[in-house]
A and B are shown apart, each in its own frame.
Chain A
Amino acid sequence: MSEIITTKDLCLWYGDNQALKNINLAIPEKSITALIGPSGCGKSTFIKTLNRMNDLIPSVKITGEVNYKGRNIFSKDTDVNELRRDIGMVFQKPNPFPMSIYDNVAYGPRTHGITSRVKLNEIVEQALKDAAIWDEVSDRLKKNALSLSGGQQQRLCIARALAVKPEVLLMDEPTSALDPISTSRIEELILQLKEKYTIIIVTHNMQQAVRISDNTAFFLLGDLVEFGKTEKIFSQPKDKRTEDYITGRFG
């Protein structure tokens, strides 16, 4: 399996505060990578760096490299909008737009210039099917997305992200605001999506990382402490700090 995203000596500061310290990480294609660590360890910051969502925060300073398919995403000839189409994102709190279900999913394709009604219908249906929500909403695509339940909203957001046909899907604690049943549905979905997409997921939930991920990265205070196969990390961690964290001694 080849690596789709690699980072080289990636550092990030919020003002004078260093949030990421020399992160070197290689993420294999079509796999699920879980990022774990206590609050404030930099895992969310890291994931938001990968599609340059941190650009929206004025005080951020970044050094080092993030290479997506071998090209540095911070180089001048990178089109941020195209980058974000290739590397999609699902957020912690479901954030559908206050429009119809259909328009939510069609938002991305329309952004990237698709106007044909037939084509849009096709994309919307496929995205909703891929996100395992088609059966629940197919008869009310014109209804406002905010009328859906929290779990449905999050799957809609996943469908919305899939509709632009990304290669990578970044998920920032996508189930932390959901109930256990919705959570397990989304986990099943993530496992299915692995066939087509590379998934990087931030999670606070150790069991979730074990259940779904192939690889796990453990962050602590802005450092990448350990990265490896998930079974390895959770059965024989190399670092004492990883062991302390996964056995629940802090966090």
Chain B
Amino acid sequence: MSKKRKFYIFLMRSIMIVTTAFTAILVLFLLAYVFIEGIPNITWELLSTKPSYLEERIGILPDILNTVYIVIATLIFLLPLGVGAAIYLTEYARNQRVVTTIEYAAETLSGIPSIIYGLVGMLVFSNNFGTSLLAGALTLVIMNLPTIMRTTQESLKTVPQSYREGAFGLGAGKWRVIRTVVIPGCLDGVITGCILSIGRILGESAALLFTAGFAHALNNFFTGLRSPGATLTVALYVYAKEEGEFEVAFAIAAILMMLTLLINLSATLVGKYFAKRKNI
């Protein structure tokens, strides 16, 4: 091998190593920075109280609850709609062109910047229900519908045709076949879709700024839905940008990152669990 060629190989290899190292360091730096700044600020008082100007205290309990509420409310609407649509498209629909069109529309919908959902949600939902967690949740439903519909559809397609034939062959009607044989077979897709959606809901801020508002009031589920409220991500924005409380912002950031980690982990575990169950 000529010297020139050897040098060239060495050079390219080095460049690739540097780019990889750069990427890795960037991620690690971000993680370390947020955790180092954030974790010391996560105190019991922060997690268990609401903010009070009189006592000069900041607590993020309302924001945590709002996040939980909005996740629950979104899933309540999202699951039946998304799973129902997926079942219709794969099990009932006969017109392939309609199916393709809807799938394409869903694909496109999932690529739209979330701030546009926020704008529409504000005009449609907040105008009708007031700026509230409910308006935010409904906006998130539209945002996440494509995700849950597509993951359910993909997993419906993996349910072997022979199961359906076997059930029909025993005299089962269409709905019984779907309920007893098809849906249990696509549970993994539904759960994966849910976990992905929860992840997206936790991380969403732009669409909620318009629709759900910024309040830090401590409410129960039903009052909460009808009142404005900040989720953790929105609260992070508010504390960092409007109030300059960077300790709180970093604490929230650290919490959000841990939650994200947890969600990714559970998605992997669920996937593994179902893969194992299918291969007995």
| Known contacts A53-B169, A89-B165, A91-B162, then 18 further A-B pairs from the complex at CB < 8 Å, ordered by chain A residue | A53-B165, A81-B171, A81-B172, A84-B168, A89-B169, A95-B163, A95-B166, A97-B163, A97-B180, A98-B185, A107-B180, A111-B171, A111-B172, A112-B171, A146-B280, A160-B170, A161-B169, A164-B170
Top 7 closest A-B pairs, CB basis? A95-B162, A85-B171, A89-B169, A108-B170, A84-B171, A81-B171, A95-B166
Per-residue CB contact flags for chain A residues 83-101 toward chain B (1 = under 8 Å, else 0) read: 1110011010101111000
Check if B167 sits within 8 Å of A51, measured CB to CB.
no
Residues of chain B in range 162-197 having any CB-CB distance to chain A below 8 Å: 162-173, 176, 180-181, 184-185
CB distance from A170 to the nearest CB of B (A): 8
Interface assignment of A19: CB less than 8 Å from any CB of chain B:
no
Known: A95-B162, A98-B185. A108 touches B171 (CB 8 A): yes
Interface assignment of A244: CB less than 8 Å from any CB of chain B:
no
CB distance from A51 to the nearest CB of B (A): 7
Interface assignment of B278: CB less than 8 Å from any CB of chain A:
yes
Check if A91 sits within 8 Å of B166, measured CB to CB.
yes
Interface of B is mostly: helix
Of chain A, the residue at the smallest CB distance from B159 is: A98
Interface assignment of B94: CB less than 8 Å from any CB of chain A:
yes
Q: Which of A82, A84, A96 has the most CB of B within 10 A?
A: A84
CA of A111 to CA of B278, assembled, Å: 24
Interface assignment of A66: CB less than 8 Å from any CB of chain B:
no
Q: Which residues of B contact A (CB under 8 A)?
A: 94, 160, 162-173, 176, 180-181, 184-185, 277-278, 280
Interface assignment of A56: CB less than 8 Å from any CB of chain B:
yes
Find B169's partner among A88, A93, A98 (CB 8 Å cutoff).
Answer: A88
Check if B170 sits within 8 Å of A161, measured CB to CB.
yes
CA of A156 to CA of B211, assembled, Å: 56
Check if B165 sits within 8 Å of A98, measured CB to CB.
no
Interface assignment of A201: CB less than 8 Å from any CB of chain B:
no
CB distance from A229 to the nearest CB of B (A): 29
CA of A111 to CA of B181, assembled, Å: 12
CB distance from B19 to the nearest CB of A (A): 46
CB distance from A150 to the nearest CB of B (A): 13
Interface assignment of A58: CB less than 8 Å from any CB of chain B:
yes
CA of A27 to CA of B241, assembled, Å: 83
Check if B166 sits within 8 Å of A157, measured CB to CB.
yes
Interface assignment of A147: CB less than 8 Å from any CB of chain B:
yes
CA of A112 to CA of B176, assembled, Å: 11
Of chain B, the residue at the smallest CB distance from A109 is: B170
Check if A56 sits within 8 Å of B168, measured CB to CB.
yes
Check if B184 sits within 8 Å of A98, measured CB to CB.
yes
Which B residues touch A93, using CB under 8 A? 162
Which B residues touch A157, using CB under 8 A? 166
Interface assignment of A183: CB less than 8 Å from any CB of chain B:
no
Interface assignment of A144: CB less than 8 Å from any CB of chain B:
yes
Check if B169 sits within 8 Å of A84, measured CB to CB.
yes
Which B residues touch A144, using CB under 8 A? 280
Check if B170 sits within 8 Å of A88, measured CB to CB.
yes
Residues of chain A in range 103-118 having any CB-CB distance to chain B below 8 Å: 107-108, 111-112
CB distance from B151 to the nearest CB of A (A): 20
CA of A58 to CA of B162, assembled, Å: 17
Of chain A, the residue at the smallest CB distance from B170 is: A108
Check if B171 sits within 8 Å of A82, measured CB to CB.
yes
Find B166's partner among A97, A147, A164 (CB 8 Å cutoff).
Answer: A97
CB distance from A155 to the nearest CB of B (A): 14
Which A residues touch B168, using CB under 8 A? 53, 56, 84
Which A residues touch B169, using CB under 8 A? 51, 53, 84, 88-89, 91, 161
CA of A143 to CA of B164, assembled, Å: 21
Of chain B, the residue at the smallest CB distance from A85 is: B171
CB distance from B1 to the nearest CB of A (A): 55
Check if A91 sits within 8 Å of B181, measured CB to CB.
no
CA of A96 to CA of B277, assembled, Å: 15
Which B residues touch A164, using CB under 8 A? 170-171
CB distance from A78 to the nearest CB of B (A): 12
